Structure 1
């Protein structure tokens, strides 16, 4: 029989309680963070996954489901119970003795691009179910960019088996969301910066010329005299480089009967005649 499951396969949140509990028993320091957790495999990949959850440390996540209250704390004493990562409290009992579902010193961390699954084992043993094995808590933390720390939800307790029973919880947080990569190239960023500076220059200069200097018409344009001179110089340069001009023909292409021969001085032989 599956406990805490509801029609449609979705959990029903009756009430979410935010309670402030004092850390005690194991002397957890606020500076230690996720280092309090003890990974069963102690692998580098699992530590990398666990470090993604560091913003969620030192906070109790509490949810009330039916007659039970559940408390989860990442790498800390849930509800002040030393070593407990997830606990269950039966609200019908007068003493309200907590039942440990999972210990943070027996943690496994599995992660994807936008989710992390924590498996905490070595909880209190079942009295009648699951061959009296120890309880196990699975906390699935999913990406939600709109939520820094969401509410803990109870999905189900799967104890209708002989072994490997577990409690399943859900929690949304932006801590497990992948980083958003910029789609702008370096050139695009430089263009945006350049146009922004140009816009500030034009608008600021216009307001200064109009309100402070009292300029009118085109003189409201910032540094109007300078830009007019630059425009004229650019036009002159373009005219000099690009426009065609009349040029004299090279002597090599002149005709035989050109005007040059007519301009040669006429030889006179009057001095050869006898006196």
Structure 2
């Protein structure tokens, strides 16, 4: 009996889970059905996965002039009332025309861009030999802007075939990941200097506020650092300074500048006959 009492609650939980999953599916790039079955389909999936942050957003752009239209775009979702319409055109009367469906998607990605192509739109009436419309959305990297403004660049409908609508959108979602430019040595130096700064400031405050030191005594562990300085000075003195007189080699002796003393004349007067 206990199980039967719990059945309505379990049914409600299951229903809520299904509703949540359905809502999340509406904002997922998996709704885009890739139109190609080539070997590049995995690359297309990777390109689509970069657009996940944009799947829950609607983008709109309006055109002026005699033919004023409103274009709506949504990544892998219904942009208008027509199911499957990823890019939809609305006229002044509110009539919708599907430019391209996300259920037939081609995706191409580069280092800092992703291009979507939605095919199987509504047929042209008098242009392009009545072929299906096609939307090309070029999404380019712009750091710091998750979702920029949608812009329509071109409607090419004067061709015999392969006509298209070209849209442009800026987003940081397609920007390459920023890698750290700091080397291991730079990181170690930064950590070392940070620790030294904390030691100096903390020790100074402790000596001044707690110990009550004044002058040079405020320097933390001053006796230790003085001893380090003395040892360094002794080592420098031992290596760099000369000790005692050092006689130059004979080959480098200079010529004496003082005049040589006159030799004393040898007296030989006693050898003369008397």
TM above 0.5, yes or no, is yes
Partner of 1:71: 72
CA-to-aligned-CA distance 1:58-87 (integer Å, 9 cap, x gap): 110111112211110001111343211100
For residue 202 of structure 2, give the secondary structure of its aligned residue in structure 1: helix
Please state how far the C-alpha of 1:166 moved relative to its aligned partner.
0.5
User: What is the Cα deviation at residue 28 of structure 1?
Assistant: 5.4
Say if 2:20 is the partner of 1:30.
Answer: no
CA RMSD of aligned residues (A): 2.5
Cα distance, 1:235 vs. partner? 6.6
Residues of 1 paired with 2:153 and 2:242: CA distance?
Answer: 85
Structure 2 stretches lacking a partner, 5+ long = 1-20, 245-274
Q: Which moved more, 1:165-174 or 1:208-217?
A: 208-217
What do the CA deviations read for 1:205-256 (whole angstroms, capped 9, x no partner)? 22332234332111111222343455556777x59x979999xxxxxxxxxx
**Structure 2 CA distance, aligned partners of 1:99 and 1:109?**
22
Provide the C-alpha distance between the structure 1 equivalents of 2:124 and 2:243, rounded to a whole number of angstroms: 103
Question: Does residue 34 of structure 2 align to residue 39 of structure 1?
Answer: yes
Question: Which residue of structure 2 lines up, in the alignment, with residue 264 of structure 1?
Answer: none
Can you give the 5+ residue segments of structure 1 that lack an aligned partner in the other structure? 1-26, 247-275
Matches within 5 A, 1:145-160: 145-160=143-158
The equivalent of 1:24 in structure 2 is none
TM-score computed with the length of structure 2 as normaliser: 0.71
Q: Distance in 1 between matches of 2:203 and 2:125?
A: 81
Indicate yes or no: 2:121 matched with 1:123. yes
Counterpart secondary structure, 1:30: helix
Which stretch of structure 1 is more off in the superposition, 151-160 or 29-38?
A: 29-38
Q: Which has the higher contact order (CA 8 A, sep 6+)?
A: 1
Q: Is the 1:30–1:58 Cα contact (8 Å) retained in structure 2?
A: no
For residues 184-215 of structure 1, the C-alpha deviation after alignment (integer angstroms, 9 at most, x for no partner) is 22112111111121122212222332234332
Q: 2:199 aligns with which of 190, 198, 201?
A: 201
Kindly provide the CA deviation profile for residues 107-148 of structure 1, in whole angstroms up to 9, marking residues without a partner as x.
Answer: 101111111110000011111111111110000011110311
User: How many pairs are equivalent?
Assistant: 216
Does the residue aligned with 2:77 lie in a helix, a strand or coil? coil
Name the CA distance, whole Å, in 1 between partners of 2:143 and 2:48.
19
TM-score relative to the length of structure 1: 0.71
Equivalence for 1:188: 186
